[in-house]
A and B are shown apart, each in its own frame.
Chain A
Amino acid sequence: EDKVVQSPLSLVVHEGDTVTLNCSYEVTNFRSLLWYKQEKKAPTFLFMLTSSGIEKKSGRLSSILDKKELSSILNITATQTGDSAIYLCAVWTKRQLTFGSGTQLTVLP
């Protein structure tokens, strides 16, 4: 059975802190790993990482895929209150898009 595990489940930080969110996966036929941000309703796409693109960066957010360790991290530097959300990791396999349980990030002013 395909499995995607995220840690920590929740995290509370103060504005300006740097956070690292973790995602590990145990799947057959790995194709790519995706990160999403969910603030209230619809998850919004952040990054996709594949064998040919294992590091992505956009502003204060960056992500790395470690295919040897079957894991990925999402880094957020200089956090802002607007970064408060659930961060979801998902993996495309041959069959479907499997999600982890998410990390609830709360950024306090």
Chain B
Amino acid sequence: DGGITQSPKYLFRKEGQNVTLSCEQNLNHDAMYWYRQDPGQGLRLIYYSQIVNDFQKGDIAEGYSVSREKKESFPLTVTSAQKNPTAFYLCASSIQGPMNTEAFFGQGTRLTVV
């Protein structure tokens, strides 16, 4: 079945650590996105990529980094510079972006700082 796979589902980070969240899609979509969700704040865009080897900052990119070396993969690294990383992270993809099309979501990764 086609879809988006995020891993791990739960992740614990110690202070000062970098952690990487995985996002893989087999939908043959060109565009991929990372969102952060905090209670009562909806989804905020961290980074997006419309094509391999290219990506753009979203509204809250500080403290995060991404790469897009393959069409299927768009990993997100939460660096130690992100001071409040505890949140729910959602990866999404669309055929192209932006255009009038549905964006598909993975099941998310819940990151907690310990």
- A: which residues have CB within 8 A of B? 4, 6, 9, 31-32, 34, 41-45, 48, 50, 88, 90, 92-102
Contacts and interface: CB of A to CB of B under 8 A. Distances in A.
Given A34-B103, A41-B107, A96 B98 contact: yes
A93 to B, nearest CB: 6
Interface of B: 33, 35, 40-45, 48, 58, 90, 92, 94, 97-108
A36 B104 CA distance: 10
Nearest to A42: B105
A33 to B, nearest CB: 10
B100 A97 contact: no
A60 B17 CA distance: 47
B40 A101 contact: yes
A47 to B, nearest CB: 10
Contacts of A97: 33, 45, 92, 94, 97-98, 103
Given A50-B100, A88-B43, A95-B98, 17 more contacts: A31-B98, A34-B102, A41-B107, A41-B108, A42-B106, A92-B99, A92-B100, A93-B98, A96-B48, A96-B58, A96-B98, A97-B92, A97-B94, A97-B98, A97-B103, A99-B42, A102-B42
B98 A94 contact: yes
Closest 8 CB pairs of A and B: A101-B42, A99-B43, A42-B105, A32-B100, A41-B107, A99-B42, A92-B98, A41-B108
A44 B98 CA distance: 18
Contacts of A43: 43, 90, 105
A31 B96 CA distance: 13
A9 B90 CA distance: 21
A75 B88 CA distance: 28
A32 B40 CA distance: 24
A100 B103 CA distance: 15
